[in-house]
């Protein structure tokens, strides 16, 4: 039997969830090679950050500037299907971006997609350092702990992208795979996605595949772990049905790639 089985029996202990201040972990005791990650799972602004308010109206906090719409649901379904460990961030990327290195100038955004973030506009170094200690570093410590529990961990990072950014032309891709020099997982997965025919699949689209200090660089590339970053267009995964559909599409492909590969 492969790693993916629609009629598998769920072990109650395997479904244990753990929640820390900066993260949620699913399947803490699972021992498969898979680690599914979702850096931008939440649009929550913690109470200790400007009283839980960055000065944006609620409608702005529902936009892509605050989190990756739909990515958390895909992550949860994919972790269930693959019986994988998963980690999800529990704070908005506008608080501090866990997918940026600590010295990245976009670590705390003051303006994003033409929107000024009032709670960040006059942020000083002391507040950035406090947010690093409270949110960014605990998330990455938990991430690395999960990745290190299995010696041959394979990392799948789930993100989503807006159909249009900065008033530019619509983005045609249904899904994009982001990767750097390690293509052990991304190249065969790309082949399988493109073989489906009806999908518009991007390679390092809609973004470049490597940002020094980001989560994949830190926990996969620097550690030699096979990896891929999956970007899904947000209008395709806004609902639970869409999230489940994409997880069910991806799970058997990922399983086949892992079982067919030599890594």
Confidence of residue 144 (pLDDT cuts 50, 70, 90): very high
- 3 state DSSP class of 85: strand
The full set of domain ranges for the chain reads 12-260
Reported residue count of the chain is: 263
pLDDT digits (tens, 9 = 90+) for 192-223: 999 998 999 999 999 888 899 999 999 999 99
Residue 136: alpha-carbon gap to chain centroid: 14
Q: Across the strands, what pairs with 229?
A: 157, 178
Cα–Cα dist 16/140, whole Å: 20
Measure the CA–CA gap between 26 and 44, rounded to whole angstroms.
19
Q: What is the pLDDT of residues 35-59, one digit of tens each?
A: 999 999 999 999 999 999 999 999 9
What is the pLDDT, as a whole number, of residue 4? 34
pLDDT for residue 135: 97
Residue 117 CA from chain centroid, whole number: 22
Average pLDDT, the chain: 92
pTM for this one? 0.92
pLDDT at 10 > cutoff 70:
no
pLDDT grade for 20, boundaries at 50, 70 and 90: confident
DSSP symbols for 12-48:
GGGG-EEE-SSEEEE-TT--SSEEEEETT------TT
What would the CATH number be for the domain defined by 12-260?
A: 3.40.630.40
């Amino acid at each position: 039997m492969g790693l993916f089985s629609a009629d598998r029996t769920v072990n109650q202990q395997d479904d244990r969830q753990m929640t820390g201040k900066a993260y949620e972990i699913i399947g803490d005791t699972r021992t498969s090679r898979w680690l599914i990650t979702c850096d931008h799972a939440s649009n929550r602004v913690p109470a200790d950050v400007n009283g839980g308010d960055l000065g944006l109206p609620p409608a702005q906090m529902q936009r892509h500037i605050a989190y990756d719409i739909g990515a958390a649901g895909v992550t949860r379904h994919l972790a269930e299907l693959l019986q994988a460990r998963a980690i999800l961030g529990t704070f908005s990327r506008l608080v501090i971006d866990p997918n940026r290195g600590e010295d990245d100038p976009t670590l705390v955004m003051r303006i994003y997609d033409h929107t000024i973030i009032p709670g960040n506009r006059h942020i000083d170094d002391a507040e950035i350092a406090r947010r690093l200690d409270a949110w960014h570093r605990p998330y990455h410590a938990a991430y690395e702990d999960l990745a290190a529990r299995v010696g041959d961990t394979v990392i799948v990072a789930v993100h989503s992208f807006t159909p249009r950014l900065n008033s530019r032309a619509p983005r045609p891709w249904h899904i994009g795979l982001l990767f750097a020099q390690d293509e052990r997982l991304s190249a065969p997965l790309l082949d399988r996605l493109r073989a489906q025919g009806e999908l518009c699949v991007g390679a390092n689209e809609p973004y470049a595949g490597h940002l020094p200090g980001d989560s994949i660089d830190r926990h996969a590339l620097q550690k030699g772990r096979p990896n891929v970053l999956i970007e899904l267009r947000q209008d395709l995964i806004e609902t639970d049905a869409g999230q489940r559909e994409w997880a069910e599409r991806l799970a058997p492909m990922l399983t086949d790639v892992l079982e067919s590969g030599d890594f």
